[in-house]
Homo-oligomer: A and B are copies of this chain.
Amino acid sequence: MKNFMLYEGDTLYLQLYNCIREKIEKGELTTRLDSIRKTASNLVLSPSTVIKAYELLEKNSYVTSKKGSGFYITYHQQHTFYPEDYMKNEDFKYSYFNEECAIDFSSASPKSNLFPIEKLKSAIIDILNTEGEKALLYENPQGNIKFRNIIKKELETLKIKTSVKNIQIISGAQQGINLISKVLIQSGDTVVTEEPTYKGAVTSFKENGGKIYPVPLEDDGINIEKLKEFLKYNSVKLLYIIPVFHNPTGVSLSGEKARILIELARKHNFYIVEDDSSSDIYFKNRIKPIKSYDIYNRVIYIKSYSKVFMPGFRLGFMILPQEITQSVVRTKYSTDISTSGLNQRIFSYFMENKIWDDYTDQLRKEFSKKQNYLYNKLKTVPHISFEKPDGGLSFWIRLPCEITGEAVYFKLLKEGVSIIPGTVFSPNYIEYIRLSFAQCSYDDMDKGVTKLTEVLEELIDLNI
C-alpha cells in the first residue's frame, strides 16, 4: 500500500503552500514573499513549516529564492499559455482542453481509429428519416422512454434489476452528481469521498453546502476501518465512490468490501453514490458495479456513456431510489428541461444494433495492448513506482526524490506534453501524476516517456 500513503499529520505546510499559491495565482501576491521569520511569527507557525511551504513553492516554480534577498514570485511568466480567461480559475488550471500539446497524457477519453463514424452517420440519417422533426422536439425530462427501456434490459445483464420509473437520463455523469447534490445535500451535511478522488464531484458537493471528509483509498477500495471509525461519531449523508477502475488510481473495490459498504449504508442511513465511467474498459474480467450488491436500495448508480463513447456527446443515466425520483426529475427540469432527444435516440440505435457492444469490444482489445506497451515503457523510467490496473485508461505514478507533480506538469508542458498532477485529485498527493494513454499513438507513448525521463532527471539533479 505504499502507493497510497497519506501525509498524515503533515498538512500544516501544505495548507500554507496552497494558501500562498492561490494568492499568487489570483495576482494578489506579485513581487516577493514575506521573510520566513515574519511569516512564521504572523501565522504562529514554526520556521521549519514555513521553510517547507516556501521550498515547495520554489519546486513548483511559483517563486525563486535569491541568496540573502528572499523569495521572488516568478509564476506569471509561465502562465501566459491559457488561451481563455476562465482557465485561470482554480478548477481549470490543469485544463483538459489544451489543444496545444502534441502529446496528450492528460485526457482519459479515448481517441480511436475504431470509432464507428460511418455507423454514427447512418444512425442519424435513419433516425431523421424515420422520426423526422419529432426527434428534435422537447424530450421527456426523465428521459426518452424507449432509451430507458433499453437501459433497463442492459442492466439485467449486470444483475441489476430496476424499473424505467427509477432511471433518469442525464447529460453526462457530472450532471448526475450535480443533481444528486442539489436534491440530497443540505448545508453542513457530510460527504465522505475516497482520497484521492475526482475533483469535479468534490466541487459539486461543496457548491451545494457539503463538507467533505476524505478517507484513504487502498488497493481493494476505500479503507473500511477508517470509515467505520468516522461513522461512530459522525452522521454522513453521502458516500461518493468510483468503485471500478477508480479515477485516478485505477483500483477496484473488492466484492467483500462492496458488501460491507452496503451494510454500513443501511446501518448508518447514508446513500452510496457510485460513479461509473470506465467499467466498460476492462482488460481481464468485467467487474460488477456496487449497485449489483445493493440489496437495501442505498446505491445511486451514475453511469456516463459519453466519457468513453464520445465525451462531447454528454449522455448518461442514473438509477435512483424510488423516494428521491420525483425530486430529481423536478431538479433536472429546472436545470435544463431535458437531455438532447436526438442524442438519446442515437445512443438507443447504437445499443439496439449492437454497435456499442462491438465498439467497446474493439476498444478493450486496442487499449489492452496500449496499456501493456506503456507499462513496459514506464518500467524503463528510473525511480518511479506504479501498478498495472485491470482496466481503465490511466497509470497513477508516484514520483521519486520528493519531486512534485506540479513541477513535472510545468516542465512537460513546455515540451508539448500534458499530464495531470496528483494535487488535482487531493492536495495531499503532491508527489504523484496521472498519465493517461487514451489519446496516444504508440509513437506518442515513445516520445512522451522519453520526455518524462528527461524531465525527471533534470528535476532530480535540481533537488540534489
B128 touches A171 (CB 8 A): no
Interface residues of A (CB under 8 A from B): 84-86, 88-89, 91-92, 96-97, 107, 109, 111-112, 115, 117, 120-121, 124-125, 128, 132-133, 135-142, 165, 171-172, 174-175, 178, 182, 200, 203-204, 207, 310-314, 325-326, 329-331, 333-343
A314 touches B339 (CB 8 A): yes
Chain B residues within an 8 Å CB radius of A342: 312-313
Q: Closest residue of chain B to A205, judged by CB?
A: B334
Chain B residues within an 8 Å CB radius of A91: 330, 333-334
Q: Closest residue of chain B to A141, judged by CB?
A: B86
Chain B residues within an 8 Å CB radius of A333: 91-92, 174, 200
B96 touches A138 (CB 8 A): yes
Assuming the contacts A86-B142, A132-B117, asked whether A137 and B337 have C-beta atoms less than 8 A apart, the reply is no
**Nearest-Cβ distance from residue A217 to partner chain B, whole angstroms:** 23
A133 touches which of B141, B204, B310 (Cβ 8 Å): B310
Between A and B, 21 residue pairs with Cβ closer than 8 Å are: A84-B165, A86-B325, A89-B329, A89-B330, A91-B333, A92-B141, A92-B333, A97-B138, A121-B124, A133-B310, A136-B313, A137-B310, A171-B171, A171-B336, A174-B335, A174-B336, A175-B336, A178-B334, A200-B334, A204-B334, A207-B331
Q: Closest residue of chain B to A165, judged by CB?
A: B85
Complex alpha-carbon distance, A314 and B92, angstroms: 24
Q: Closest residue of chain B to A135, judged by CB?
A: B312
Complex alpha-carbon distance, A111 and B335, angstroms: 25
Complex alpha-carbon distance, A291 and B141, angstroms: 31
**Considering residues A178, A331, A337, which has the most beta carbons from chain B within 10 angstroms of its beta carbon?**
A337
Chain B residues within an 8 Å CB radius of A203: 334
A137 touches B109 (CB 8 A): yes
A137 touches which of B88, B117, B207, B311 (Cβ 8 Å): B311
Chain B residues within an 8 Å CB radius of A132: 115, 117
Q: How many copies of the polypeptide does the oligomer hold?
A: 2
A314 touches B336 (CB 8 A): yes
16 extra interface residue pairs, beta carbon distance < 8 Å, beyond A86-B326, A115-B133: A85-B325, A91-B330, A97-B141, A109-B138, A111-B137, A117-B132, A117-B133, A136-B311, A172-B337, A174-B337, A178-B335, A200-B337, A312-B338, A313-B342, A336-B336, A340-B343
B330 touches A178 (CB 8 A): no
**Nearest-Cβ distance from residue A455 to partner chain B, whole angstroms:** 26
**Nearest-Cβ distance from residue A192 to partner chain B, whole angstroms:** 19
Complex alpha-carbon distance, A88 and B326, angstroms: 9
Q: Which 9 A-B pairs have the closest CB atoms?
A: A136-B310, A312-B341, A86-B329, A175-B336, A138-B311, A136-B312, A171-B336, A203-B334, A174-B337
Complex alpha-carbon distance, A249 and B128, angstroms: 34
A312 touches B109 (CB 8 A): no
Chain B residues within an 8 Å CB radius of A326: 85-86, 88-89
**Nearest-Cβ distance from residue A293 to partner chain B, whole angstroms:** 26
Chain B residues within an 8 Å CB radius of A182: 207
Complex alpha-carbon distance, A314 and B172, angstroms: 14
Chain B residues within an 8 Å CB radius of A139: 312
Complex alpha-carbon distance, A51 and B74, angstroms: 76
Complex alpha-carbon distance, A319 and B55, angstroms: 43
Complex alpha-carbon distance, A330 and B107, angstroms: 19
Complex alpha-carbon distance, A42 and B331, angstroms: 35
Complex alpha-carbon distance, A383 and B140, angstroms: 36
**Nearest-Cβ distance from residue A225 to partner chain B, whole angstroms:** 32
Complex alpha-carbon distance, A347 and B329, angstroms: 28
Complex alpha-carbon distance, A329 and B84, angstroms: 11
Q: Closest residue of chain B to A346, judged by CB?
A: B342
Q: Closest residue of chain B to A163, judged by CB?
A: B85
Chain B residues within an 8 Å CB radius of A339: 314
**Nearest-Cβ distance from residue A171 to partner chain B, whole angstroms:** 5
**Nearest-Cβ distance from residue A100 to partner chain B, whole angstroms:** 13
Chain B residues within an 8 Å CB radius of A312: 135-139, 338, 340-342
Assuming the contacts A133-B310, A200-B334, A329-B89, asked whether A128 and B138 have C-beta atoms less than 8 A apart, the reply is no
